[in-house]
Every structure is written in C-alpha cells, then in structure tokens.
DNA sequence: GATATATGTATCGTGTACGATTTAATTGCG
DNA sequence: CGCAATTAAATCGTACACGATACATATATC
C-alpha cells in the first residue's frame, strides 16, 4: 500500500513552513532577546494594550496553560504588568510597561525584513495569507 | 505608530493554521495513541523504511535533538528498532517492527478524513500546498 | 441568600523544538 | 601511519503547546 510521505502532505507543508518562518525571525528577535511567541504577544499588545488574558488568548489562539507562563516571563523582564483592576476579579488585565512600549520601535523594522526574506511582493503575501486563513477557518476550532 | 496585529501577519496565519491542523489530527490519532510528530515520523518510514536518523531528519526538517527522543518513545512502544548495521558506525538506522508496519493500515483512512475536514477539493489543496512550500523554500534554511 | 453551575486563570505533566555542547567514529592530509 | 578536522547522533537546558485538573470568583435559580 502506498502511504503519502510527509513532503507531499499539506499538513507537513504548514508544519515545516511555520517552523522555517520562526527560524527566519530568530536572528531578528535575538537582539531584543525575544522568542517568536513572545514577539506575537507583544505585537498583540502594541496594537491594543490592556487586554485580559482571555482576550489575548482568543486573538493568539492560545489557552491560559500556554499564555500564563509566557506572560510571566515577560513580566519578570519588566515588559508588562498583571493587574486585577476590572469589575470582574477573575480576569487578569495585561498592560505594557514603558520598557514594553519602548521595545516597539526597536522591533519596527522586523516586518519589512521578513517581507524581504520571502522575496515576494505584498499582493502575493496577502493573498497567500488569506488562503491559509481560509483553510484554518474551515477546520473545526474544536 | 501602527504595529501590524498578529491576525494580519502571514507568519501568524502559518503558525495558527499549523496548530489548528494538529488539533484536527488529534482525534484521528488518539485511537492509535500517536502524537502528530510521531505520525509524521511513521509516515516517513511507511513510505521508505530503514533510513538513518540523519536521512529522516532531512525529510522531516528536524535535528537529532528533536528526533532522538521522538524515536526513543516509539522504540519503547515497540514500533521501531534502532541498529548500527551500516559500514559507518556513527549512523543509526531506524527500522519498523511488525507492529510498526501493522499500524499503517490502522492509519490508512486518516488522509481522507483530513481532506474531508478541509472541505476543499484535491486540486485546491495541492495548489495551496505547493504555494506554501514555495514560500518555505524561499526562506533561508540557515 | 444559600447553593449549584459557569467562567477566568493558574497549575501540572507530557511531548515536542531547538541552541549549545558532548561523544564517538570517520575522513583528510601531510 | 598520525592526527586534526569533520560528521552522526545523543545529551542538556529552556521555552513553548496542550490535555486535564484545580481554584477562585461570578452568575443563576430557587
């Protein structure tokens, strides 16, 4: 019987390309001493600060068991703060510190660098992104 | 300054879709008691058995620090064997056991299930796969 | 307003990923 | 031949992912 080898599988294309993309980010993030997931979390906060763990989790598609340690590492580094200043005491609100906000300008060049590394133009990248997202949204979130 | 939020980033589309895909595999792999990377490794061996750790790593784009523990778990379960039967004693050859080969038929239905979950036809899936691989291959492996 | 249920976050255990280093075996070259 | 440089795999440490569970607070229902 013939089994499709990994190089022919769509899932493997996603898997290996996502990893390769993280490798591409690595030298750009190293000077900021950030991992890729940490950069994603900060990007979410740079776009909209002071959100709850749950709201960030919905945007990044991560649950608290991944998010909580991630957040705590950045808190330890003094890039953000955790508070319970909402009406609902179950919720934890994440707010950037001055240092956390300052990092945004240090990272401002990164998106352009990534685009350049792909060697593709914006229109193609946007189209590919939307096709990948369309696939994701067809797959059950459950 | 405006920072692109994660939902607009191509890298995040890859990241979140790759994870979603693993979630989609999970209920299909659970009866076989396999994780997604373990399934990838076995798929590689089902397509071509008796390869070295290095050869498998090149196909799966994983280094020995990831592959060795992965392989050892499957060895413990009796699905494969590690031997040094080549001329070069540095190399470790990975060979499926009868149980490991038998698992192939238990997994034979999975690719069709995944295709069905995407709700897309083969032509679109193949095209999307190749576009994603083209992006990967434009990114420096270094 | 006591209590059952639901929700938000944290904790724990297992399994990847991967940089850096180590160990062992092979190859290259004088 | 002798030994430095290279290569294959393993080991170690850190950081995700995520299922399962725990815990605290909120809400609902009577």
d(CA B59, CA B72): 18
The answer to whether the CB atoms of A6 and B59 lie below 8 A apart is: yes
The fold of the A25-106 domain, in CATH, is: Arc Repressor Mutant, subunit A (1.10.10)
pLDDT of B139 reads 95
Span A119-134, mean pLDDT?
96
B115 CA – C22 C1', rounded, Å = 44
Question: Which of B91, B101, B89, B88 is CA-nearest to residue B53?
Answer: B91
pLDDT of A7 reads 81
- In degrees and rounded to multiples of 5, residue A35 shows phi and psi of -85, 170
Q: What is the pLDDT along chain B (142 residues), one digit of tens a residue?
A: 567 888 899 999 999 999 999 999 999 999 999 999 999 999 999 999 999 999 999 999 999 999 999 999 999 999 999 999 778 999 999 999 999 999 999 999 999 999 999 999 999 999 999 999 999 999 977 6
CATH of B24-108, one of 1.10.10.10, 3.40.50.300, 3.10.20.30, 1.20.1560.10: 1.10.10.10
Residues in a beta bridge with A6: none
Q: Where are the domains of chain A?
A: 25-106, 109-142
Q: pLDDT, tens digit, for every residue of A26-68?
A: 999 999 999 999 999 999 999 999 999 999 999 999 999 999 9
Residue A117: CB atoms within 10 A of its CB come to 15
pLDDT of B1 reads 57
Instruction: Report the SS3 class of residue A62.
Output: coil
Task: List bases in chain C with any atom under 7 Å of a protein Cβ.
Answer: 7-13, 15-20, 24-27
The answer to whether the CB atoms of B13 and A136 lie below 8 A apart is: yes
pLDDT of A32 reads 98
B121: contact with A, CB 8 A cutoff: no
d(CA A107, CA B34): 39
Q: Which of B6, B105, B132 sits opposite A13 (nearest CB)?
A: B132
d(CA A41, CA A67): 9
The answer to whether the CB atoms of A6 and B60 lie below 8 A apart is: yes
- In degrees and rounded to multiples of 5, residue A93 shows phi and psi of -95, 135
A76: contact with B, CB 8 A cutoff: no
């Amino acid at each position: 019987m013939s089994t499709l080898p990994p190089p022919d599988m769509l899932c493997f294309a996603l898997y290996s390309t996502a990893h390769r993309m993280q490798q591409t980010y690595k030298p750009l993030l190293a000077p900021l001493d950030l991992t890729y997931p940490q950069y994603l979390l900060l990007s979410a906060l740079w776009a909209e600060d002071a959100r709850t763990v749950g709201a960030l989790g919905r945007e990044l598609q991560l649950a608290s068991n991944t998010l909580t340690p991630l957040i705590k590492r950045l808190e330890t580094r003094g890039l953000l703060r955790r508070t319970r200043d909402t009406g609902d005491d179950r919720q934890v609100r994440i707010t950037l510190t001055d240092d956390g906000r300052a990092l945004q300008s240090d990272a401002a060049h990164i998106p352009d660098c990534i685009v350049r590394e792909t060697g593709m133009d914006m229109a193609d990248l946007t189209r590919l992104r939307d096709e990948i997202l369309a696939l994701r949204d067809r797959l059950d979130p459950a």
